[in-house]
Amino acid sequence: MRVLFYVFPFVIFALSQAQLISVHVIFRHGARAPVLNVTSEEAKSYFYRGLGQLTDQGIEQAKLIGKVLKDRYVNTFVDARMLPTQLLFRSSPVERCLMTIQTVGNTMFVNSTPPVQTVAKPDDFLLVPKLDCAFQIDEWTNFFNLTENDKKQAKKNPWFISEKALRRATAASQTLQQRSDENLPALILEKDAGLAVPSWFNEEAYKESLTVFYKALAVMSSVGEYKSSKGIRVKTGLLLDKILNDIQEKVRCHEKNQKGHISCDRHKLQVFSTHDLLILPFLDALGIREAALGEDLPPKFLSAIIIETMLLDDIPFVKVFYRGDPRDITLRDMTGLVRNCPPNQALCPVNLFTSCCGEFITADPRRECYEEKADQQLHNWTMTTVSWILIGISAFLLIILIIMSYLAVRYKNRSVVTIKKVCLEN
């Protein structure tokens, strides 16, 4: 205890002397309505914006984290006048994510709104987890012994697999064993919103439902008992790759800028608004999922990961924080728990942090998700009877075309000779 008494003030003093050079914030959107349906007229009235949309409560949650980020970074790290060159606000194109990040930005900068970047959902491999990769069908088949009909349904609608995982987890639950047909995801949200729920959905059933719901998310996000390095890589590998490269680039910029002749301010604060299906694999890649969330629990609304890069005596370090509850105004320091970082240390050297997650990083998730499928189909393509018949017919028609072309040219040449001979005779 005496050692800690002396060490703790030293750490605080050291951090107060550190120069912050970049910040990355990744959060889940705020509270939303159920995606599929609600269970009561009261719930239908409460979630008046529609299924899957941000609620008034979600907007208030976004304002709170906006205030947390404002107090921590505005004025002290970025200009309070909102200079777009200092910021990168990037969102999933889903409306609840866009509304969340816009509210956060409006709260951080009172007189101006940071521009929010996004791309179309099919093209967003940064913040929209892909669920239709070919290899995932094979993985799901191993987990659930899928029939051919199941595979067809999974290809058409990947959430069919999530429903399977939900039913499996419900069947294994003592409390919810007889409730497999209930709309548990909707009941969780309705109870969180303070709405009336069935009497059987008591506190015990609610807590058990969170674990059951986590299992349904885990299979889609490739974590927990359904863990897949490749699945994590496709879902969150591009964001990891971007953040780690950004950190290294900022460090190199400051190393070159010892005399202050160049600016390293571009996009030094980056904020990302995304989904639980990306937060889960991102935490797993860093090795802090269970430490951050607890065992078999999903991330809450507006849970956030914050990665700060700083210079201490010109040596680059990283700190990693987690905000687990939408009501929290404090951040939990997770630095010493991150994969590859020194355990129980307040700071993680940049070179260790940026080498934490090699197996989960990709610069081209599109190719891993889709083009490998096409390559495999091409590799596995075999000639059928119909294929041989079509090739035979094509070859026969080609030969006929060649013969007809030859005869036409020969006839034309003979006609020209005949005409010339007639002209000479006359």
Beta bridge mates, 91 = 273
User: What token pair was written down for 314?
Assistant: 């010109």
- Rounded to whole angstroms, the Cα distance separating 337 from 380 reads 44
Q: Please check whether residue 30 is in contact with residue 58, taking contact to mean a CB–CB distance below 8 angstroms.
A: yes
- Rounded to whole angstroms, the Cα distance separating 332 from 360 reads 24
DSSP 338: S
User: What token pair was written down for 163?
Assistant: 């429903």
Please state, in angstroms and as integers, the Cα–Cα distance from residue 318 to each residue in 66, 251, 290, 397, 402, following that order. 22, 11, 21, 69, 71
Q: Please check whether residue 250 is in contact with residue 335, taking contact to mean a CB–CB distance below 8 angstroms.
A: no
Catalytic residues: 29, 276
Long-range contacts of 287-295 (CB under 8 A, 24+ apart): 287/337, 287/338, 287/339, 287/340, 287/356, 288/320, 288/322, 288/334, 288/337, 288/338, 288/339, 289/223, 291/334, 291/337, 292/322, 292/324, 292/332, 292/334, 293/324
